[in-house]
Structure 1
């Protein structure tokens, strides 16, 4: 049986708070970018940069839960990982929160095998 991703997952994206406002940065909220994923990334549990609660609020970000399949839609395109914890991201991702219709590990390997 074939499904569109939107039929089996909730798809959310992210955004970037203004980088020139220091009060938005160096907090405790994990915020990833596509550059942090590589060919070997499977479960991602941390981020290089962190946001403050104010940064999250001002950027209108929604977190995605542990187990979300993260797919980069901007350079580099097609990188995939699974969130090992709740986190946020920039606009370079489509985050696939799996329903009961699909296993997140299966979706990860399915997407990884079809990057092109």
Structure 2
């Protein structure tokens, strides 16, 4: 993504709101193994992608006993601790833990484009992360990272082109690995 084509603006201009999550107490078995997918950093692919299910699930009682929130399908998620800057989008409603933030789109922002922006800023977010044992970034600092915001009508096209390039790169890497 080129910053020269568009005036960089803080990522927060592409986001209308954000919500964090939480973890139900582990010592209460009835809070776990429910039917609500519960996303943590371990559920995020290395490259921005889609989360269709999670390693752990919580119950409604677990959701109510924690600071977790159920996030609608199609809402971009970003890790703010450990795998700082990893982004994904759930294909189903999903609860999140405290290391994950849900980002709600500002008017005129395409979800596919926002995911590409999140992928683009991941190295910057990692560089801004602090902590001696576990690295993390405050959501305010993350949202202050400058990004190129394209015009609304160009965003889906840019995202589609970048998806095509990502696919070509991954296919080429697979061929090279076989050789």
TM-score under structure 2 length normalisation: 0.60
| Cα distance, 1:25–1:40 mapped onto 2, change above 3 Å | same
Question: Looking at both structures, which has the greater relative contact order when contacts are Cα pairs under 8 Å and sequence separation is at least 6?
Answer: 1
Cα deviations across residues 7-45 of structure 1 (Å, max 9, x unaligned)? 633200000000010010000001010112122451111
**RMSD over aligned Cα, in angstroms?**
1.7
Q: Which has the larger radius of gyration?
A: 2
* 1:53 aligned partner: 60
- Specify every segment of 5 or more residues in structure 1 that has no aligned partner in the other structure, as ranges: none
Per the TM alignment, residue 108 of structure 1 is displaced from its structure 2 partner at its CA by: 0.5
**1:1-116 alignment runs, 5 A limit:** 2=9, 4-5=11-12, 8-116=15-123
Greater helix share, structure number:
2
The DSSP-based 3-state class of the residue aligned with 2:114 is helix
TM-score under structure 1 length normalisation: 0.90
The runs of at least 4 consecutive aligned structure 1 residues that moved more than 2 Å come to 1-4, 6-9
Cα deviations across residues 41-90 of structure 1 (Å, max 9, x unaligned)? 51111111110110001114321111111100000111100111111111
Residue correspondences, number = 116
